[in-house]
Amino acid sequence: MHYARPLKVVHQEILRQHAVNLVAARLSRAEPPLRKEVVEYISDSNSHLWSMRKSRANLFRLSSVFSGLLGTGEWFQDICRWKKPVASTAIHVIYLVLVCSPEMILPVMSLCLFMLGVWNYRLRPRQPPHMDTRLSFADNIHPEELNEEFDTFPVSSQDPGIVKMRYERLRSIASRAQTVVGDIAGQGERVQALLSWRDPRATSIFMVLCLVSTVVLYVVPFKVFVLLAGLYIMRHPRFRGKTPPGLINFFRRLPAKTDCML
């Protein structure tokens, strides 16, 4: 039943709260009695409540997860800028070999993952996992943030001035998130504007490019196209212009619904 008719998140929270109340009522009559706060902490029933400390910790965890991807992007930027000519030349040779022999792509990827695992073996954890105060940002937390985290909900027990200060701080954080969400939505709307005829000139140009690319991709072998595209992306800075590419300028000039919002 859990897979055929899964419960909604709201219902799960209600059931979790009822379970916490039942367990807390049972353990409060035990010897020695156990307080309800301990049961709530063990069951993690208040994980959905706002906490500045947990927000920073989760943001740090997210950045750690994507640090490898960001590092790979920076490394590829260095390859494209030819900061290390030997490494850039080696990458060009490897790219040519992989394009000419595409059956080697998956084995090479598997070998790279294996070598990465061997390299990380020396960094393996020596001790079992434990509560990490640095990961939880509990070693340098501000007393006000700690007081906010342990405050009662939904009715606060603090002074109205302190609650207003927390509200203003939360508004400033939400405004940044709102800006990021708006930027992402704007980029998606620009993609939709390619075929929505909101800008007839841009849509016409895009349709002509699609028609030309259809003929080119049909005539030119796919290996040749991938080879030329890769060499063009990794070309030497001497062959690069100081202005952004025309495709990027074309995409940035596409209309979005930002101007239509109040």
In angstroms, how far is CA 248 from the centroid of its own chain? 23
Q: Which of 82-96, 210-224, 239-253 has the lowest mean pLDDT?
A: 239-253
Which tokens go with 131?
């509560």
pLDDT of residue 2: 66
Share of the chain above pLDDT 70, in %: 99
Residue 22 has pLDDT above 70, yes or no: yes
Max Cα distance, the chain (Å): 82
For the residues 50-64, what does the mean pLDDT come to? Answer: 87
Nearest to 56 by CA among 138, 163, 154: 138
User: What 3 state SS string does the chain have?
Assistant: CCCCCCCCHHHHHHHHHHHHHHHHHHHHCCCCCCCHHHHHHHHCCCCCCCCHHHHHHHHHHHHHHCHHHHHHHHHHHHHHHCCCHHHHHHHHHHHHHHHHCHHHHHHHHHHHHHHHHHHHHHHCCCCCCCCCCCCCCCCCCCHHHHHHHCCCCCCCCCCHHHHHHHHHHHHHHHHHHHHHHHHHHHHHHHHHCCCCCCCHHHHHHHHHHHHHHHHHHHHCCHHHHHHHHHHHHCCCHHHCCCCCCHHHHHHHCCCCHHHHCC
| pLDDT tens column, 156-168 | 778 888 888 888 8
> Do 199 and 190 contact (CB within 8 A), yes or no?
no
pLDDT of residue 53: 86
pLDDT of residue 162: 85
Residue 122 has pLDDT above 70, yes or no: yes
Work out the angle at residue 67's Cα, subtended by the Cα atoms of residues 179 and 230, and round it to the nearest 5 degrees: 90
**CA 19 to each of CA 27, 48, 106, 123, 154: distance values in angstroms, whole numbers, following the listed order:** 12, 16, 49, 41, 19
For the residues 138-156, what does the mean pLDDT come to? Answer: 79
| pLDDT tens column, 35-46 | 887 888 788 777
pLDDT of residue 1: 60
Residue 105 has pLDDT above 70, yes or no: yes
Nearest to 252 by CA among 179, 190, 198: 190
